[in-house]
Amino acid sequence: MSLSQHPRALVTGSSSGIGQAIAQALLDQGWQVAGLDLVPPEWAHAAFSPHQVDLRDPAATARAVQAAGPVQALVHAAGVLRVGRLGSLTQEDSMLMWQLHVDAATRLANLVIPAMTQAGLGRVVLIGSRVSGGMPGRSQYAATKAALVALARSWAAETAAQGVTVNVIAPAATQTAMLTDPARAGATPKLPPLGRLIRPAEIAALACFLLSTDAAAITGQEIQICGGASLAM
């Protein structure tokens, strides 16, 4: 258990994939978790309180955060991927990813980080992507994930002296339902040198560490879980 006797985290995208893995890992460590997701979860836990919400809706998000109550940690794992090359990019795809990845992160941080700074302790983890540096066919997605890094570094600079850390975990292709989304048809993920996809549990393990008291000196960082994909080999 970390941060306090009964720490509480707010985790978005908690009904499936990376968000679910993080929520369940935190619960295993004794955290209480409030989950925000567009769809209801198909799992339950005595210390888990799900809240169904469209994170693109500012008013609904604010109500959900208020209903979740005070938290010592925020994990923004909700995400979506739309692919496309120049000539086929759409405003709809761009707006969807920007609203869910960047605008939602901004609203959530604006709602919960001030209380963390007043308390003198808090943790924020944003789930980014290894493609934030750019990748063919992923320009709009990469732009939103790169924006998360800029937000995290800016917020980390604002809050470091108040005991709040803000970091980004940037995975390579991860074994989640996103890989089978029809919206990414024809965009098969490339396996990293590790020879397999990243597992959600591996991302959850790093997230749990970054939310712990042991990670108090780590802030403003983008940490890749890439299976060797970022190496020159």
Q: Any idea which residues carry the catalytic annotation? A: 141
CA distances in angstroms from 199 to 147, 173, 212, 216, 227, listed in the order given? 24, 9, 21, 25, 10
d(CA 118, CA 207): 23
E-state strands within the chain: 8-12, 32-37, 48-52, 73-76, 122-127, 164-171, 222-225
Amino acid at 84: G
**Distance between CA 78 and CA 14 in Å, rounded?**
8
Distance (Å, whole) CA 73 – CA 113:
9
**Cβ atoms 18, 84 nearer than 8 A:** no
AA letter at 110: N
Q: Do residues 104 and 61 touch, judged by C-beta distance below 8 A?
A: yes
| H or E element that contains 193 | none
